Chains A and B, each alone.
Chain A
Amino acid sequence: MAAVSLDHGLILAGLLFAIGFAGLLTRRNVIVVLACIEIMLNASGLAFVVAGARWGRADGQVMFLFVLAMAAAEVAVGLAIAIRFRQTTGRLDVDSADELKG
Chain B
Amino acid sequence: MLRLLWLIPALPAAGFVVLVVLGRRLSRTAVAVVGAGSVGLSALVALAVCLDFIASPPPGDAYRQVLWTWFDTGGLAPRIAFYLDAVSVVFVLVITGVGFLIHLYSTEYMEEDEAFARFFIYMNLFVASMLVLVLADNLLLLYLGWEGVGLCSYLLISFWQRDVGNVYAGRKAFIVTRVGDTALIVGLFLLFTQLHTLDIQPLMEDAAAEWAAGSGFAVAAAALLLGGAVGKSAQLPLQTWLPDAMAGPTPVSALIHAATMVTAGVYLIARTNVLFSLAPDVRLAMAVVGTATLLYAGFSALAQRDIKRVLAYSTISQIGYMFLALGVSGWSAAVFHFMTHAFFKALLFLGAGVVIEALGGEHDIFRMGGLRRRLPGAFWTFVIGAAALAALPIVTAGFYSKDLIVATSWASVDGSVWLWLGALAGAFVTSLYAFRLVFVVFFGQEHTAVTRPPRWRLQLPLIVLGAFSVVGGLVWLPEWMGGSHPLATFLETALPETRLVHDALAESVAGTAVAVVVVLSGIGLAYLLWLRGRAATAAFAVRPVPRAVAAFWLAGWSFDWLYERLFVLPVKWFARVARDDLVDPAFTGLAWLNVQAWRALSASQNGLLRLYVGVAGAGVVLILALVILR
A26: B residues at CB distance < 8 A:
610
A98 to B610, CA, bound (A): 10
Look across to chain B and name the residue whose beta carbon is closest to the beta carbon of A22.
B617
Which chain A residues numbered 55 to 102 have a C-beta less than 8 Å away from chain B? 94-95, 97-102
Q: Determine which residue in B607, B614, B617 has the highest number of CB atoms from chain A within 10 A of its CB, and name it.
A: B607
A94 to B610, CA, bound (A): 8
Chain A, interface residues (CB within 8 Å), range: 10 to 19
Q: Tell me whether B609 and A97 are in contact (CB under 8 A).
A: yes
Q: Tell me whether B602 and A102 are in contact (CB under 8 A).
A: yes
Look across to chain B and name the residue whose beta carbon is closest to the beta carbon of A27.
B610
Q: Is B605 an interface residue (CB 8 A)?
A: yes
Q: Tell me whether A98 and B613 are in contact (CB under 8 A).
A: no
B608: A residues at CB distance < 8 A:
95, 98, 101
A56 to B568, CA, bound (A): 94
Q: Is B29 an interface residue (CB 8 A)?
A: no
A98 to B606, CA, bound (A): 7
A102 to B609, CA, bound (A): 13
Q: Tell me whether B617 and A97 are in contact (CB under 8 A).
A: no
Q: Tell me whether B605 and A25 are in contact (CB under 8 A).
A: no
- Counted as pairs of residues, one from A and one from B, with CB atoms less than 8 Å apart, the total is 31
Map CB proximity to A onto B598-624 as digits: 1 under 8 Å, 0 otherwise: 000010011111100110010000000
Q: Is A41 an interface residue (CB 8 A)?
A: no
Chain B, interface residues (CB within 8 Å), range: 10 to 19
A97: contacting residue among B605, B607, B614, CB under 8 A: B607
Look across to chain B and name the residue whose beta carbon is closest to the beta carbon of A28.
B610
A38 to B253, CA, bound (A): 104
Q: Is A24 an interface residue (CB 8 A)?
A: yes
Q: Tell me whether A99 and B607 are in contact (CB under 8 A).
A: yes
Q: Tell me whether A25 and B607 are in contact (CB under 8 A).
A: no
Map CB proximity to A onto B38-80 as digits: 1 under 8 Å, 0 otherwise: 0000000000000000000000000000000000000000000
Q: Tell me whether A25 and B606 are in contact (CB under 8 A).
A: no
Look across to chain A and name the residue whose beta carbon is closest to the beta carbon of B609.
A94
Cβ of A100 to closest chain B Cβ, rounded Å:
5
Q: Tell me whether A101 and B614 are in contact (CB under 8 A).
A: no
Which chain A residues numbered 1 to 49 have a C-beta less than 8 Å away from chain B? 21, 24-26, 28, 33
Cβ of B617 to closest chain A Cβ, rounded Å:
6
A94 to B605, CA, bound (A): 15
Q: Tell me whether B617 and A101 are in contact (CB under 8 A).
A: no
Look across to chain B and name the residue whose beta carbon is closest to the beta carbon of A98.
B607
Q: Tell me whether A102 and B605 are in contact (CB under 8 A).
A: yes
B606: contacting residue among A28, A33, A101, CB under 8 A: A101
B607: A residues at CB distance < 8 A:
97-102
A21: B residues at CB distance < 8 A:
617
B610: A residues at CB distance < 8 A:
24-26, 28, 94-95
Look across to chain B and name the residue whose beta carbon is closest to the beta carbon of A95.
B608
Q: Tell me whether A101 and B605 are in contact (CB under 8 A).
A: yes
B602: A residues at CB distance < 8 A:
102
A100 to B613, CA, bound (A): 14
Q: Tell me whether B605 and A24 are in contact (CB under 8 A).
A: no
A33 to B602, CA, bound (A): 25
Cβ of A55 to closest chain B Cβ, rounded Å:
24
B617: A residues at CB distance < 8 A:
21, 25
B613: contacting residue among A24, A95, A99, A102, CB under 8 A: A24
A25 to B608, CA, bound (A): 11
A100: B residues at CB distance < 8 A:
605, 607
B605: A residues at CB distance < 8 A:
100-102
Cβ of B608 to closest chain A Cβ, rounded Å:
6
Cβ of A89 to closest chain B Cβ, rounded Å:
13
B606: A residues at CB distance < 8 A:
98, 101
Cβ of B620 to closest chain A Cβ, rounded Å:
9
A102 to B613, CA, bound (A): 17
A24: B residues at CB distance < 8 A:
610, 613
A99: B residues at CB distance < 8 A:
607
A32 to B610, CA, bound (A): 13
Cβ of B381 to closest chain A Cβ, rounded Å:
92
A26 to B614, CA, bound (A): 9
A95 to B614, CA, bound (A): 13
Cβ of A90 to closest chain B Cβ, rounded Å:
18
A101 to B603, CA, bound (A): 8
A25: B residues at CB distance < 8 A:
610, 613-614, 617
A28 to B610, CA, bound (A): 8
Cβ of A49 to closest chain B Cβ, rounded Å:
23
Cβ of A34 to closest chain B Cβ, rounded Å:
12
Look across to chain A and name the residue whose beta carbon is closest to the beta carbon of B612.
A100
Cβ of B522 to closest chain A Cβ, rounded Å:
90
Give me 6 other A-B pairs in contact (C-beta within 8 A), A25-B610, A101-B606 excluded.
A25-B613, A25-B614, A95-B610, A98-B608, A99-B607, A102-B607
12 A-B pairs whose Cβ atoms sit less than 8 Å apart in the complex: A25-B610, A26-B610, A28-B610, A94-B609, A94-B610, A95-B609, A95-B610, A97-B609, A98-B606, A98-B609, A100-B607, A102-B607
Residues of A within 8 A of B (CB): 21, 24-26, 28, 33, 94-95, 97-102
Q: 5 smallest A-B Cβ distances: which pairs?
A: A98-B607, A101-B607, A101-B606, A100-B607, A25-B614
Residues of B within 8 A of A (CB): 602, 605-610, 613-614, 617
